[in-house]
Amino acid sequence: MSHTMHFHVLTLFPEMVSQGLSESILGRAARKGCIELETVNIRDYTINKHKKVDDYPYGGGAGMLMQAQPVFDACMDVEKKIEMRRNAERTAGNAETAAGIAETSAAGEASGNDKDAACREKSPLRVIYVTPQGKVFTQQMAQEFAREEDLIFLCGHYEGVDERVLEEIVTDYVSIGDYVLTGGELPAMVMIDAISRMVPGVLKNEESAETESFCDGLLEYPQYTRPEVWKDRRVPSVLLSGDHVRIEKWRLEQSLERTRQRRPGLYEAYTRRDRAVSYLSKDRLSHMDMLEVIKRGQADVVRAEETGVLLYDRPSGAWMLSASDEDMGERLLSEIPRGKDELFAVHQSFLKESIARRFHRDRVSECMQAVYARKLPPACRARFGIRPLEAQDVDAVYENYHAVHSRDYLLERIEAGEMFGIDADGRLAAFAGMHDEGSMGMLEVLPEYRRMGMAEALEAYLITQQLEKGYVPFCQIFDGNEPSLCLQKKLGLKIASGRLYWIS
Ligand code: ADE
């Protein structure tokens, strides 16, 4: 089940934004309820009796600056309204649960209520200030923002905005490119358009969001429509052949060639990714962690050779490595800049030793990787009510989870809507969740509730969620954790032959 994506735009020119986004696909999406646009006139919030919102910069200089007070008050009002709406939705959701709808089958029908509630835990709200001084907006950022339920855009005008209010409210500074426009409205509209396309239900054919330019890192191939001949130019004959295998091959070649010529940087990144995938696919099960972070678009392929791959996973900050010989291992390690607290996931024990030498790291957890290679979720008979965890559950999780993660990390996972639990006798009896790099884990059942099927139900629930997102579910079993190994086998996960070492 999909939820509505709510855009809130703080601007001095609300009509420019609402009119610009009311036509065509986004207009239709708004009427269908896939997206909702709220424009907020910052001027309505000024306490100045002449409705003034700007003033001269201290220290002199050209132009005027937007003042802090109206911007801040407008933003607070929007945040308050979002909070109220979310509470109302939560209450409505709980009422449904009470009516007996959300008794969740772990094996499959994760109810829409549960999933939506999980999304709602994703505060804090993101406030995007559109500015040429921001990080340049990309398709990847559009995908990331599309996972939020609410986005607040602040559009600047004149020469800018008082820095103090930016420090107070802004979470993301984003630019749409290296040029300067007269205001933030057009950039906000550009971003809203790109983000909306990624929201389920906005595009008619959901596939089109997947296959067009950029999703796989290549530019789109050339397209043709009738007539077959125009100004003596013929449509390429392969497209008239009806041979779909040849057509697909031709299109890929065209995409590659176009990207190579027009966007050499993108082409280089694509070929690196391609080389990485072909090395890692030689042992898919052992490398599923690395293959998945590439596929999910969350990793940078820093280096990819025939005999080794180095990735940087952005969400976890982990360096992921695999090399078929020690020489390549050393070459990959030499690419890693020295930081304060590097985290590594490596696939060979010689890499573990080199890292200890180079980075003075010796906290090593040895794991086996388990992969759910099927397309359908596991059959799981036990039925429990599974709910997303909330911030107040963190202590129960921290006290009962027998592994290395900090309380802060567990809280972050809960707040990201990535941890789930089962209650019994009025308390949290079992929990599990998704790690930031994308593996399933943090599974624990309190001793008195073991052997009832709670672990199986929770993992089956996570597997189902992962499959729905088009991911291959995987997890890592610490050396010696026999109960976990048994559970993985029971649920149908395959155990990889290679080892994996987490080093921190
Ligand atoms: N405001 C003015 N120019 C801009 C740009 N290039 N990107 C985002 N916001 C802007």
Q: What confidence tens digit (pLDDT) does each residue in 312-356 have?
A: 999 999 999 999 999 999 999 999 998 877 899 999 999 999 998
Determine the pLDDT at residue 362: 77
In testing the pocket of ligand 1, which one of 129, 166, 176, 189 has its CB within 8 Å of the most ligand atoms?
A: 176
Residue 139's identity, in one-letter code, is Q
d(CA 157, CA 64): 9
Determine the pLDDT at residue 124: 80
> How far, in Å, is the centroid of ligand 1 from the Cα of 156?
9
> How far, in Å, is the centroid of ligand 1 from the Cα of 160?
11
Q: Give Cβ neighbours of residue 101 (< 8 Å, ≥ 6 apart).
A: 111, 113
Query: Which residues line the pocket of ligand 1, CB cutoff 6 A?
Result: 130-132, 175-177, 179-181, 184, 187
Residue 367's identity, in one-letter code, is C
In testing the pocket of ligand 1, which one of 136, 180, 189, 190 has its CB within 8 Å of the most ligand atoms?
A: 180
Q: Give Cβ neighbours of residue 409 (< 8 Å, ≥ 6 apart).
A: none
Closest atom of ligand 1 relative to the 131 alpha carbon: 9
d(CA 3, CA 25): 18
16-57 pLDDT, tens digit each: 999 999 999 999 999 999 999 999 999 999 999 999 999 999
> How far, in Å, is the centroid of ligand 1 from the Cα of 11?
14
- Nearest C-alpha neighbor of 347 from the set 317, 319, 305, 388: 319
Determine the pLDDT at residue 190: 98
Determine the pLDDT at residue 120: 35
Determine the pLDDT at residue 339: 80
> How far, in Å, is the centroid of ligand 1 from the Cα of 272?
31
DSSP 341: S
**Residue owning the nearest CA to atom 5 of ligand 1:** 132
> How far, in Å, is the centroid of ligand 1 from the Cα of 191?
11
- Nearest C-alpha neighbor of 358 from the set 346, 368, 366, 370: 346
d(CA 475, CA 379): 18
DSSP 360: -
In testing the pocket of ligand 1, which one of 13, 131, 133 has its CB within 8 Å of the most ligand atoms?
A: 131
d(CA 345, CA 325): 17
Q: Give Cβ neighbours of residue 13 (< 8 Å, ≥ 6 apart).
A: 155, 157, 183, 185
Distance of CA 286 to the CA centre of its chain: 24
d(CA 188, CA 23): 16
Distance of CA 468 to the CA centre of its chain: 14
Cα distances (angstroms) measured from residue 493 to each of 107, 313, 433, 443: 15, 24, 17, 16
Residue 455's identity, in one-letter code, is A
d(CA 20, CA 14): 10
Please answer whether residues 286 and 345 qualify as being in contact, where contact means their C-beta atoms are separated by less than 8 angstroms.
no
d(CA 291, CA 415): 26
Structure tokens at 222: 């050339």
DSSP 79-115: HHHHHHHHHHHHHHHHHHHHTT----BTTS---HHHH
Please answer whether residues 191 and 128 qualify as being in contact, where contact means their C-beta atoms are separated by less than 8 angstroms.
yes
Residue 6's identity, in one-letter code, is H
**Residue owning the nearest CA to atom 2 of ligand 1:** 181
d(CA 394, CA 424): 17
Determine the pLDDT at residue 104: 37
Helix extents (H) in 184-243: 185-197, 207-211
DSSP 427-467: EEEEEEEE-TTS-EEEEEE-GGGTTSSHHHHHHHHHHHHHH
Phi-psi region of 415 (alpha: psi -120 to 50; beta: other; left: phi over 0): alpha
Closest atom of ligand 1 relative to the 182 alpha carbon: 2
**Residue owning the nearest CA to atom 4 of ligand 1:** 132
> How far, in Å, is the centroid of ligand 1 from the Cα of 137?
11
What are all long-range contacts of 174-177, with beta carbons under 8 Å and residues at least 24 apart?
A: 174/128, 174/129, 174/130, 174/131, 174/134, 174/135, 174/136, 174/137, 174/141, 175/130, 175/131, 175/132, 175/133, 175/134, 175/135, 175/136, 175/137, 176/130, 176/136, 176/137, 177/136, 177/137
Length of the chain: 504
Q: Give Cβ neighbours of residue 426 (< 8 Å, ≥ 6 apart).
A: none
**Residue owning the nearest CA to atom 7 of ligand 1:** 175
> How far, in Å, is the centroid of ligand 1 from the Cα of 10?
15
Q: What is the pLDDT along the chain (504 residues), one digit of tens a residue?
A: 458 999 999 999 999 999 999 999 999 999 999 999 999 999 999 999 999 999 999 999 989 999 999 999 999 999 999 999 999 988 887 676 554 333 333 333 333 333 333 333 445 899 999 999 999 999 989 988 998 999 999 999 878 999 999 999 999 999 999 999 999 999 999 999 999 999 989 998 754 655 455 657 899 999 999 999 999 999 999 999 999 999 999 999 999 999 999 999 999 999 999 999 999 999 999 999 999 999 998 999 999 999 999 999 999 999 999 999 999 999 999 999 988 778 999 999 999 999 988 888 878 999 999 999 999 999 877 789 999 999 999 999 999 987 778 999 999 999 889 999 999 999 999 999 999 999 999 999 999 999 999 999 999 999 999 999 899 999 999 999 999 999 999 999 999 999 999 998
> How far, in Å, is the centroid of ligand 1 from the Cα of 198?
22
- Nearest C-alpha neighbor of 394 from the set 406, 379, 376: 406
Determine the pLDDT at residue 404: 78
Helix (H) / strand (E) element for 356: namely helix 349-359
Closest atom of ligand 1 relative to the 180 alpha carbon: 3
> How far, in Å, is the centroid of ligand 1 from the Cα of 41?
19
In testing the pocket of ligand 1, which one of 128, 153, 155, 175 has its CB within 8 Å of the most ligand atoms?
A: 175
Closest atom of ligand 1 relative to the 178 alpha carbon: 6
Residue 24's identity, in one-letter code, is S
Please answer whether residues 154 and 161 qualify as being in contact, where contact means their C-beta atoms are separated by less than 8 angstroms.
yes
DSSP 120-179: HT-PSPEEEEEEEEEEEP-HHHHHHHTT-SEEEEEE--TT-B-HHHHHHH-SEEEESSSS
d(CA 76, CA 61): 30
Please answer whether residues 449 and 430 qualify as being in contact, where contact means their C-beta atoms are separated by less than 8 angstroms.
yes
d(CA 131, CA 372): 43
> How far, in Å, is the centroid of ligand 1 from the Cα of 484?
51
Distance of CA 59 to the CA centre of its chain: 42
> How far, in Å, is the centroid of ligand 1 from the Cα of 159?
11
> How far, in Å, is the centroid of ligand 1 from the Cα of 37?
20
Instruction: Give helix 454-468 / helix 482-490 axis angle, nearest 10°.
Output: 60
> How far, in Å, is the centroid of ligand 1 from the Cα of 74?
21
Determine the pLDDT at residue 380: 79
DSSP 9: E
**Residue owning the nearest CA to atom 10 of ligand 1:** 131
DSSP 235: P
**Residue owning the nearest CA to atom 9 of ligand 1:** 131
